[in-house]
Amino acid sequence: MSRRMGRATGSFGSGVRGAIGLGRSLDDAFYDDLLEVLITADCGVATSERLVAALRERARAEHIRDAGAAVAALHAEMLAMLEQRDRALHLDAFPSVVLVVGVNGSGKTTTVGKMAYRLREEGRTPIIAAADTYRAAAIDQMRIWADRAESEFVAHQPGGDPGAVAYDAVQAAIARRADCVLVDTAGRLHTKANLMAELAKVRRVVQRIIPEAPHETLLVLDATTGMNAGNQARAFHEVLQLTGLVVTKLDGTARAGTVIAIEEELGVPVKLVGLGEDIDDLNVFDPEAYLDALFGVEGEEEAVSPGEPGAGA
Ligand SMILES: Nc1nc2c(ncn2[C@@H]2O[C@H](COP(=O)(O)OP(=O)(O)OP(=O)(O)O)[C@@H](O)[C@H]2O)c(=O)[nH]1
Ligand SMILES: [Mg+2]
CATH number at 107 reads 3.40.50.300
Same domain, 78 and 184: no
69 and 116 fall within a common domain? no
Report the share of the chain in percent with pLDDT over 70: 88
SS3 state at 36: helix
Q: Report the b/e string of 96-123 with b at 16+ CB within 10 A.
A: bbbbbbbbeebbbbbbbbbbbbbbeeee
How many Å separate Cα 254 from the centre of its chain? 14
Answer yes or no: is 41 within a domain: yes
Please tell me whether residues 147 and 31 are part of one structural domain: no
Q: Are residues 242 and 110 in the same domain?
A: yes
Query: Which pLDDT band holds residue 4 (cuts at 50, 70, 90)?
Result: low
Structural domain contains residue 186:
yes
Segments forming the whole domain that contains residue 218 = 96-284
Identify whether the C-beta of residue 110 lies closer than 8 Å to the C-beta of residue 189.
Answer: no
Both 164 and 239 in one domain: the answer is yes
Confidence band for 3, pLDDT divided at 50, 70 and 90: low
- Residue-wise pLDDT tens digits, 32-54: 999 999 888 878 888 899 999 99
In this predicted structure, what is the pLDDT of residue 228? Answer: 84
- Model confidence at 301: pLDDT above 50: no
Query: How many domains are contained in the chain?
Result: 2
- Mean pLDDT computed over 91-117: 97
Q: Which helix (H) or strand (E) holds 100?
A: strand 96-101
Q: Are residues 271 and 127 in the same domain?
A: yes
Q: Are residues 110 and 41 in the same domain?
A: no
Q: Which amino acid is at 148?
A: R
Residues with CB under 5 A from ligand 2 (ion): 108-109
- 226 Cα–ligand 1 center, Å: 16
Q: How far is the CA of 69 from the centre of ligand 1 (A)?
A: 40
State residue 259's pLDDT score: 74
56 has a pLDDT exceeding 80: yes
Mean pLDDT over 275-290 rounds to: 92
Tell me the backbone φ, ψ of residue 221, rounded to 5 degrees. -115, 135
Note if the pTM is more than 0.75.
Answer: yes
Mean pLDDT for 206-219 is 98
Confidence band of 160 (pLDDT split at 50, 70, 90): very high
Average pLDDT rounded to a whole number, residues 87-93: 96
State in Å: Cα 118 to ligand 2 middle.
18
Q: Are 233 and 221 in contact (CB under 8 A)?
A: yes
